[in-house]
Amino acid sequence: MADNPMYKAILKWSLSQTDGISSTEVSEMDKEKREFLDKVMSSMVEDESKTMKELVAALSDPEDTIEQVRAKETALEELVDRCDKIDYAVALHSFANGLFPTIDLLGSSKHGSIRSLAAELVALCVKDNPPCQAWAFERDALKLLLDLHS
C-alpha cells in the first residue's frame, strides 16, 4: 500500500494547497468586539436551570382564571418537553425542586388538564430513573396516580 500512486498524488495535492506561511496574527480582542461577542453569545445560549426554576415557580401559581390555568398548562408542557432527556428529569428535582410540586398537583388541582399534564410529567421523570422513582415514592405519587384513575 505504501507504494500506491494515489497516496502520493493526494499528498502532493495536499501540500500544494498550503504555502506553509501563516499570515494571521493573534492579538487580544478589543473591548467593543468582546462586548458584542458576549451579547451575541448570551442571546443565543439559554440558562437551562434558570428556565426550569421559572417553570417550576409557575406551578405554584393560582388556578383562578382561564389565563392562569393556560399558563400552568404551558409550563407543564414545556417541562414535559425538557424532561424527555433523563438528565433534565433529574435536574427538574435536583436543581429546580420541581418533582414535588408536580406530584402535589395530582391531588390538588381542580383542572383535569393540569392533573393530566402533571401525571405525564411524573411518569416521564420516573421512567428508568431510580433517583426520581425514590423521590416520587417518598411523596406517595403512585397513590395519587391511582386515585386519578379511580
**89 closest CA partner among 47, 135, 45:** 135
Instruction: Please report which confidence band the pLDDT of residue 100 belongs to, taking 50, 70 and 90 as the band edges.
Output: very high
Task: Please give the Cα distance from 102 to 120 (Å, whole number).
Answer: 10
The per-residue pLDDT for range 43-86, each reduced to its tens digit, is 888 888 889 999 999 999 999 999 999 999 999 999 999 998 88
What pTM value is reported for the model? 0.72
Q: State how far the Cα of 73 lies from the Cα of 58, in Å rounded to an integer.
A: 9
Q: How far apart are the first and last CA of the chain?
A: 73
pLDDT tens readout for residues 105-119: 999 999 999 999 999
Residue 115, C-alpha cell as written in the block: 392533573
Separation between Cα atoms, residue 6 and residue 9, nearest integer Å: 5
How is the chain split into domains, by residue range?
Answer: 50-149
**Which of 47, 52, 100, 95 has its CA nearest to residue 75?**
52
- pLDDT confidence of residue 124: 94
